[in-house]
Amino acid sequence: MAKVVGAVMVAGGGVAGMQAALDLANAGYYVYMVEKSLAIGGRMAQLDKTFPTNDCSMCIISPKLVEVGRHINVELLTLTDILAIDGSEGDFKVRVRKNPRYIDMSKCIACGECTKKCPVKVGNDYNELLDTRKAVYVQYAQAVPLKYGIDAEKCLKLTKGRCGSCEKLCPAKAIDYTQKAEEAVLNVGSVILAPGFTPFGPRGLETYRYADSPGVMTALEFERLLGATGPTMGHVVRTSDHKEPKAIAFLQCVGSRDVNRADNGYCSSVCCMYAIKEAIIAKEHAKYDLQVTIFYMDIRSFGKDFERYYEKAKAKGIRFVRSRIHTIQPLADGGLRFHYVTDHGRSATEDFDMAVLSHGLTITAETVKMARQFGLAMDHYNFAKTSSFSPVALSRPGIYACGVFTGPKDIPSSVMEASAAAAAASSKLASARGTLARTVTVPPPVDITGEPPRVGVFICHCGINIASVVDIDKVVEFAKTLPFVEYASNTMFACSQDNQEQMVKLIKEYRLNRIVVSACSPRTHEPLFMETLAEAGLNKYLFEMANIRNHNSWVHAGNPVEATRKAMDMTEMAVAKAALLAPLTENVIDVDPTALVIGGGVAGLNTALALSSQGYKSVVVEKEGRTGGNANRLMSTAKDENVAQYLAGLQAKVEADPNISVVLNAEVDQVSGFVGNFETTLTNGDLVKHGVTIIATGAKEHRPEEYLYGQHPRVLTHLEMDEKFKAGDAEVAEAGAFVFIQCVGSRETGRLYCSKVCCTHTVHSAVTLKKKNPKARIFVLYRDIRTYGQREDIYKEARDLGVIFVRYEPERKPRVSQTGGKLAVEVHDPVSGRDLIINPDFLVLASAIVSGRENALGMKYKVPLDEDGWFFEAHQKLRPVDFATDGMFMAGLCHYPKPLDEVVAQAQAAAARAVTVLTQPKMTVGGIVAEINHDKCSGCGVCAAVCPYSAINLDPAKAGKAVVNEAMCKGCGTCAASCRSDAPALRGFTNAGLFAQIAAAL
């Protein structure tokens, strides 16, 4: 490559685009983030909650929005379209058009005065048109950038030359009707497209009566109805008459898995889960016994913790009915009469007050046009074409994708792909890394030694989340009376970008040297505020939060008086502690730019290769005598790609790569150290020094204990069948009848999860067999077919080829017997009500994927596993490849079962996340760690004995007194609580501070 530019363009500011932008920016690349609307956030900003944790969606993306908005290496271009991409990988010239906002962003203070007199009411797209906004508006309350904009198509001034009231009202003189679109050419090394999706519009499907019945809404509309910031503030009512529904029905697969009317044959992957989520939340919001029914074809709860969520929903009384509704008849009272055929073939009629259409995800016409124009290959559903082995690379070199653009997927998969896209998009740009990135210049912290505490207190409304319960003004007035408080005020959203800027100003103006924010949880928002302190030149540890939302307004909504009193107490406790806080120093340590990758399967090898493309060395340790793991046994992917060929190529690349060394027949023996400086001894005696660790230990195929497995030579698992396919087994080729049994060992007590890959594997094997021998009789005995995304195509193909699918109920599992070597499978067909007996030549068991239960390894690196033995990520939605422990990442099946393309994506993602650590030559540690007062220490050694990290030693050079290794101390404080002389103190959690909090609490 002639020229390599160290910048990347990320198009689309949804959660995927944001993650890709942040990973690139944190790895030393300059990022242009292009967003066509007024603000970033995408679809996730519209969601009320996220499955399966029911985390509040806005709460978890808000910190990301702010991080993107304030990142020194992310240039945010809102209202911008991409016109053309010229050039080639390494050196693209991207022509963009920046459309006018008609508001000067540098002047707008987001006060909202402009909206007051605006006479134009427009459907509010953020609330799915359930209410209205003005022609001058802000996309949503927490928007980044938090700047207003004018809707040029609706504004009277811009369309007819009349009005102009906003210009008159704006106190900042920010309105500028004369702004014009501007074109620019940006030079970047690669491009990531994350244009997202638009939900399927059900207007054209008359069956559902969406167009003419107000009781019928889409799931996204319903999501907004559930949202605290939605049109009814979370109150579930029929929008037409504001009546509370007694019975709601969800209709699955609207615009998905439907080739007859919607032309979308694919499964949208997320609708089953979001319907369950909305059902659970709706029941929680209703103060009465709301009846919720979900009409479905197959429940596809295939992700991590999804099956438990589904079971939880059933336990909460949500009813699941397997049927596709054929007629909805509106009733005079606004209700709806459903006509459907039950699973047993009988006609049924049932009335509901509301219907929610679980509409699928589709690619917009605009995205299709863009993809064509940029010369990108697309599949017949208009998703961008990718290979399973390079899941984020598009057909044109240098252009990558993440999120729904390549196929319907949920948030964690999108985030994983986003990090993968960051890795792939920078793989050819390593030589230019850091050339365009700017470095953060945090002002040196002001020395506050000797100054009396001057506490600033900020009380957050959190929109209405806090303010609707707590009397904010009263808390502010109270805060002003507390000792050392110099300044106290309220704020609509403490976390918003404009408030951060405001805080910096106020800290300087009032010379504040301690900050208290009474808002939400420090677990999510403390880092954000600490960064703001640093920007203001204040040591970031001079900060304390009071959690008056999660621990107060949200749980005492019925008791505003006590909630206000509690908020006052909590603020007082925080102020009392804050006044005693001391600035803490952080130490700089070297980062060893090497990775240890544990596991040499497809995940581990891909991680190592992706790290190598950025110039980092890896040691891959594999316990077997060969690399490749489970892929050694697989025949092909769902897209018919040959796995053996791929694996051979991958192994050859790894072998030829000077940055990668593979250690076979070895495992991790002993571990010491921490992020930046791990030391791992392998069982072969090798000592590896590494800065990051990637766990990619894979998983195993479950060995069934039923269905005559192990007792009959023709009862096989999937991997055993694949080996026969690969060997061209003559018996298989000649066989006339096959039975596949699904969910063998999955989705049952003790293993309450879906193994995700088995349905697709079975359907693919069935199709392969049918193509070879069309006369073969093939039966698939299943519970729900879960061929999610575009995989649905091969399920349809299997049915078209004559594969027979028979559902069984878990209470009536198939029975397998043999007489004289001949297999017999007996299954009860719930549709016909009959027992079928099939005599297959081969019985294939879609047996579960089980974790290796690597508890010992987890203990060594201090990372957790969940109850099924999968490694537990830092956050199920937004940090799917990180551990909570710094410098630790994961990839592949050790996280959860997944198909090969998702394994590769996660491996690349792990590399991208690891690079954000490895790229720092030095990193800071310390802060909240223990220190020993040697005047009090008698050298008894209790602290050293209780320290779980061996971070304390008795130092002969210090007269046998205790000393703390700050880099190894994790700040638990056990030493401080165990010393009889109070010699150890945990910085940030000192005795004095905690006593002050206790006193303030009472």
Partner 1 sequence: MSDFEPRIVAFFCNWCTYGAADLAGVSRLDYPPNFRVVRLPCTGRLNPKYIIEAFKRGADGVWVSGCHPGDCHYIAGNYHARRKFVLLHHMIEAVGVEPGRLHFSWISSAEATKFQEVAREVVEKVRASGPNQSFRKAELDLGLAEVA
Shortest distance (Å) from residue 946 CB to partner 1: 6
Nearest residue (CB) to partner 1, 90 versus 880 = 880
Nearest residue (CB) to partner 1, 725 versus 872 = 872
Q: Binding segment for partner 1 among 46-54, 606-614, 616-624, 705-713 (CB under 8 A)?
A: 46-54
Round to whole Å and give the CA distance between 747 and 304.
12
Q: Is 523 in the site for partner 1 (CB under 8 A)?
A: yes
Applying CB under 8 A, which of residues 176, 244, 284, 624 lies at the interface with partner 1?
Answer: 284
Nearest residue (CB) to partner 1, 843 versus 951 = 951
Applying CB under 8 A, which of residues 329, 672, 938, 978 lies at the interface with partner 1?
Answer: 978
Round to whole Å and give the CA distance between 692 and 618.
10
Q: Binding segment for partner 1 among 215-223, 423-431, 453-461, 991-999 (CB under 8 A)?
A: 991-999
Applying CB under 8 A, which of residues 23, 35, 55, 91 lies at the interface with partner 1?
Answer: 55
Q: Binding segment for partner 1 among 677-685, 894-902, 917-925, 943-951 (CB under 8 A)?
A: 943-951
Nearest residue (CB) to partner 1, 548 versus 904 = 548
Q: Is 557 in the site for partner 1 (CB under 8 A)?
A: yes
Applying CB under 8 A, which of residues 547, 618, 630, 746 lies at the interface with partner 1?
Answer: 547
Shortest distance (Å) from residue 979 CB to partner 1: 9
Shortest distance (Å) from residue 427 CB to partner 1: 35
Shortest distance (Å) from residue 548 CB to partner 1: 10
Nearest residue (CB) to partner 1, 155 versus 576 = 576
Nearest residue (CB) to partner 1, 906 versus 997 = 997
Q: Find out whether 734 and 870 touch, Cβ atoms under 8 Å.
A: no
Q: Binding segment for partner 1 among 207-215, 352-360, 615-623, 994-1002 (CB under 8 A)?
A: 994-1002
Binding mask 323-352 for partner 1 (x = CB under 8 A): ------------------------------
Q: Is 556 in the site for partner 1 (CB under 8 A)?
A: yes
Nearest residue (CB) to partner 1, 242 versus 980 = 980
At residue 596, the 3 state secondary structure works out as strand
Nearest residue (CB) to partner 1, 117 versus 875 = 875
Q: Is 464 in the site for partner 1 (CB under 8 A)?
A: no
Q: Is the dihedral of CA 153, 158, 164, 170 positive or negative?
A: positive
Applying CB under 8 A, which of residues 949, 953, 968, 992 lies at the interface with partner 1?
Answer: 949
SS (H, E, C) 768-821: HHHHHCCCCEEEEEECCCCCCHHHHHHHHHHHHCCCEEEECCHHHCCEEEEECC
Q: What single string gives the DSSP state of each residue in 937-995?
A: -----HHHHH-TT--EEEEGGGTTEEEE-TTT-----HHHHH-TT--EEETTS-HHHHH
Nearest residue (CB) to partner 1, 719 versus 942 = 942
Shortest distance (Å) from residue 993 CB to partner 1: 10
User: Is residue 533 within a helix (H) or strand (E), and if so which, with residue range?
Assistant: helix 522-535
At residue 226, the 3 state secondary structure works out as helix
Shortest distance (Å) from residue 877 CB to partner 1: 13
Applying CB under 8 A, which of residues 39, 59, 292, 849 lies at the interface with partner 1?
Answer: 59
Q: Binding segment for partner 1 among 271-279, 520-528, 591-599, 818-826 (CB under 8 A)?
A: 520-528
Contacts of 16 by beta carbon, 8 Å cutoff, 6+ apart:
42, 194, 196, 402, 403, 404, 414, 415, 417, 418, 421
613: nearest Cα among 651, 659, 662: 659
Q: Residue with structure tokens 């007269």? A: 959
Which residues ranging from 563 to 602 are in contact with partner 1 (CB under 8 A)?
A: 563, 565-566, 569-570, 573
CA 912 to chain centre: 15
Query: How are beta strands 660-663 and 617-621 bridged, if at all?
Result: parallel
Q: Is 522 in the site for partner 1 (CB under 8 A)?
A: yes
Shortest distance (Å) from residue 950 CB to partner 1: 11
Round to whole Å and give the CA distance between 392 and 17.
13
Nearest residue (CB) to partner 1, 287 versus 775 = 287
**Burial class of residue 166, CB neighbours in 10 A (0-12, 13-18, 19+):** buried
Q: Is 303 in the site for partner 1 (CB under 8 A)?
A: no
Applying CB under 8 A, which of residues 359, 549, 807, 961 lies at the interface with partner 1?
Answer: 549
Nearest residue (CB) to partner 1, 146 versus 668 = 668
336: nearest Cα among 354, 323, 322: 354
Q: Is 552 in the site for partner 1 (CB under 8 A)?
A: yes
Nearest residue (CB) to partner 1, 102 versus 554 = 554
Applying CB under 8 A, which of residues 317, 375, 483, 948 lies at the interface with partner 1?
Answer: 948
DSSP label at 200? Answer: P
Q: What single string gives the DSSP state of each residue in 705-759?
A: SSTTTTTSTTEEEHHHHHHHHHTT-HHHHH--EEEEEEEESSSBTTB-S--SSHH
What is the size of the binding site for partner 1 (CB under 8 A)? Answer: 54
Applying CB under 8 A, which of residues 79, 394, 429, 972 lies at the interface with partner 1?
Answer: 972
Applying CB under 8 A, which of residues 72, 185, 555, 837 lies at the interface with partner 1?
Answer: 555
Q: Is 973 in the site for partner 1 (CB under 8 A)?
A: yes
Round to whole Å and give the CA distance between 30 and 56.
31
Q: Is 233 in the site for partner 1 (CB under 8 A)?
A: no
Which residues ranging from 828 to 867 are in contact with partner 1 (CB under 8 A)?
A: 862, 864
Nearest residue (CB) to partner 1, 396 versus 853 = 853
Round to whole Å and give the CA distance between 823 and 955.
73
Round to whole Å and give the CA distance between 556 and 564.
10
Round to whole Å and give the CA distance between 405 and 377.
12
Binding mask 884-903 for partner 1 (x = CB under 8 A): x-------------------
Q: Find out whether 192 and 17 touch, Cβ atoms under 8 Å.
A: yes
491: nearest Cα among 511, 508, 473, 469: 473
Nearest residue (CB) to partner 1, 181 versus 233 = 233
Q: Binding segment for partner 1 among 147-155, 416-424, 689-697, 966-974 (CB under 8 A)?
A: 966-974
Contacts of 363 by beta carbon, 8 Å cutoff, 6+ apart:
195, 197, 198, 381, 382, 383, 404, 405
840: nearest Cα among 792, 769, 786: 769
**Measured over all CA atoms, what is the biggest interatomic distance in the chain, rounded to whole angstroms?**
93
Strand partners, 660: 618
638's tokens: 């769902």
At residue 460, the 3 state secondary structure works out as strand
Q: Is 521 in the site for partner 1 (CB under 8 A)?
A: yes
Round to whole Å and give the CA distance between 836 and 808.
11
799's tokens: 């049915």
Q: Binding segment for partner 1 among 52-60, 102-110, 367-375, 498-506 (CB under 8 A)?
A: 52-60
Applying CB under 8 A, which of residues 8, 56, 436, 695 lies at the interface with partner 1?
Answer: 56
Nearest residue (CB) to partner 1, 274 versus 989 = 989
Round to whole Å and give the CA distance between 302 and 270.
10
User: Is residue 350 within a helix (H) or strand (E), and if so which, with residue range?
Assistant: strand 347-352
**Burial class of residue 323, CB neighbours in 10 A (0-12, 13-18, 19+):** middle
User: In the complex, which residues of this chain contact partner 1 (CB under 8 A)?
Assistant: 49, 53-56, 59, 284, 521-524, 547, 549-552, 554-559, 562-563, 565-566, 569-570, 573, 862, 864, 884, 928, 946, 948-949, 970-974, 976-978, 986, 989, 991, 994-995, 997-999, 1001-1002
